[in-house]
Amino acid sequence: MESKPKEKRHINRLKSTKLVRPLVDKMYREGVEAAENGKPVAWCMVNWWEADLVLRAMGVTPIYPENFAAVSAAKGMSPKYQGLSDAEGFPTHLCGYARNSIGYSAEMKKLGRIPPDAPLGGMAAPMLLLGSGILCDTRFKWFQALRQYWEVPSWTMDTPSFDPVEDIKPDAHRNNIQYKVAGLKAFIAFLEQLLGKKLDMDLLEQFIANQEAVFKIWWEINELRKAKPCPIHSRDFWTLMVIGYYMTWDPESLNLYQKVFDEAKERVDSGVGAVAEEKYRLIFSELPPWHSLDFFERLAERGWNFVMESAMYHPPEPMVFDLSNDPIERIAANNYWFQIDHLINAKRKGYPVIGPMLPQAYVNWGIEYEADGILTHSLLSCRACTYWLTHTTNSLETELSIPGMNIEGDIIDFSVFDPESVMQNVSAFEDAMDHYKMIRKK
């Protein structure tokens, strides 16, 4: 029988990203092994580097249902878990990540063990549920709902979103950071009482130093992406994202990002791009269809290179105010700076100021990455990643003459994403990008 010829790939993927999978496998394996050895495991919401290092320094292994949902979608398992969530009586319009973890929890409780077909070995049972108050609609209510299946303590990291004009108020930075410090200290006291031991501050400082080194080289990698042609496509970023979000404490992660930087730098020096012929430089917002990432190959074939993406999932630029030596204050400052850096830098650099963190990021990037267009992805089950997309697109067109195109879909629901209908609009959008290129030249 003749073997089927390999489909031609149009995105020039980084070789270094092949090192990601072993680290992801390690992350899930650690959770299962910790549970088997009687060590504490916590299910955590993405909390933007606020609580993760504290848990690690306390000997708790974090597991992230949001990432597991993306993995489930990529492996074709999310329809099963979403169906189980629906059968439990949860609404079908609930966040896809939440439905995935609820369905998974229902099956695991019924079986009394990790489902044998769970992707990457599955998520071990938690002894703690850690919610967060930042950005997403479901947030801590989702984790409170999970207590129907896991009779364990829960904690919510209070992470308020700051008003975009606060940076001009006297003492705003200091007060906001101290508010976060107070929340972290309360969380540490809770963990110390729960686990019956004190936080290892030396280990925490070691983790923070590694994380800040990851942030620095990650930002330097993003700087390389400003080159023409851009050396890294968004597909590689979405592969790397899990390491930059969940494993910044690990020296292996720093080593991986160094290899990514070296490979990207070599491409820049040699004039090699992530697509064969970069005709259009695009930004993507916000989360991709994890189940259909091969769709981007079809766009790359037309010369579309996605040079920046997903504002919520990149580290900020180096901080403009000094970091404290106190590890708790450093965690708080890093988390706070992530929330405000795009606005501060827009004012500092004289860019158009359009508002809060997320829309502002895309205006800044539109300028700095010389984008020809922005492709936005409205998500059926995630209002928090969707409601501001129209404002962002309109602002880029009005302020920078950069047009936008929207596609409808979802992070893990296969049924609502139709790549063929998207492709029907691609040619017209290319005409719009060409038109606005001429306007920008004038």
Sign of the C-alpha dihedral computed for residues 244, 245, 251 and 252 taken in this order:
negative
Q: What is the pLDDT of residue 134?
A: 80
Q: Are 297 and 389 in contact (CB under 8 A)?
A: no
Choose among 392, 390, 405, 391: nearest CA to 436.
Answer: 405
- Count how many domains the chain has: 2
Q: Which residue among 161, 191, 221 closes a domain?
A: 161
Q: Which residues pair with 304 in a beta bridge?
A: 280
Q: Quick one: how far is CA 76 from the chain centroid? A: 20
Structure tokens at 297: 């190959």
Question: Of residues 411 and 226, which shows the higher confidence score?
Answer: 226
Question: Same domain, yes or no, for 154 and 275?
Answer: no
Q: Which residue among 161, 182, 212 closes a domain?
A: 161
Give the best-scoring range by mean pLDDT among 46-55, 91-100, 274-283. 274-283
pLDDT tens profile 139-161:
778 999 999 999 999 999 988 77
Q: What is the pLDDT of residue 150?
A: 97
Coil, strand, or helix at residue 133? coil
Coil, strand, or helix at residue 109? helix
Q: What is the pLDDT of residue 415?
A: 87
Q: What is the pLDDT of residue 1?
A: 44
Question: Same domain, yes or no, for 236 and 382?
Answer: yes
**290 inside domain:** yes
User: 68: how many CB neighbours lie within 10 A of its CB?
Assistant: 25
Question: Same domain, yes or no, for 135 and 237?
Answer: no
Q: Which residue among 134, 161, 188 closes a domain?
A: 161
Question: Same domain, yes or no, for 213 and 110?
Answer: no
**26 inside domain:** no
3-state helix, strand, coil in the chain (%, to 5): 55, 10, 35
CATH number (domain holding residue 106): 3.40.50.11890
Kindly state the average pLDDT of the residues 243-252. 95
Q: What is the pLDDT of residue 166?
A: 66
Kindly state the average pLDDT of the residues 314-342. 88
**336 inside domain:** yes
Task: Among 123-132, 315-324, 371-380, name the one with the lowest average pLDDT.
Answer: 315-324
**157 inside domain:** yes
Residue span of the structural domain in which 275 resides: 203-441
Q: What is the pLDDT of residue 399?
A: 97
d(CA 312, CA 216): 17
**196 inside domain:** no
Question: Of residues 109 and 357, which shows the higher confidence score?
Answer: 109
Question: Same domain, yes or no, for 232 and 117?
Answer: no
Task: Among 216-225, 229-238, 289-298, 313-322, name the one with the lowest average pLDDT.
Answer: 313-322
Q: Are 303 and 278 in contact (CB under 8 A)?
A: yes
pLDDT at 125 over 90: yes
pLDDT at 409 over 60: yes
**73 inside domain:** yes
**pLDDT-derived band of residue 194, with 50, 70 and 90 as boundaries?**
very high
Question: Same domain, yes or no, for 337 and 394?
Answer: yes
Kindly state the average pLDDT of the residues 53-69. 96
Q: What is the pLDDT of residue 257?
A: 98
Q: What is the pLDDT of residue 5?
A: 54
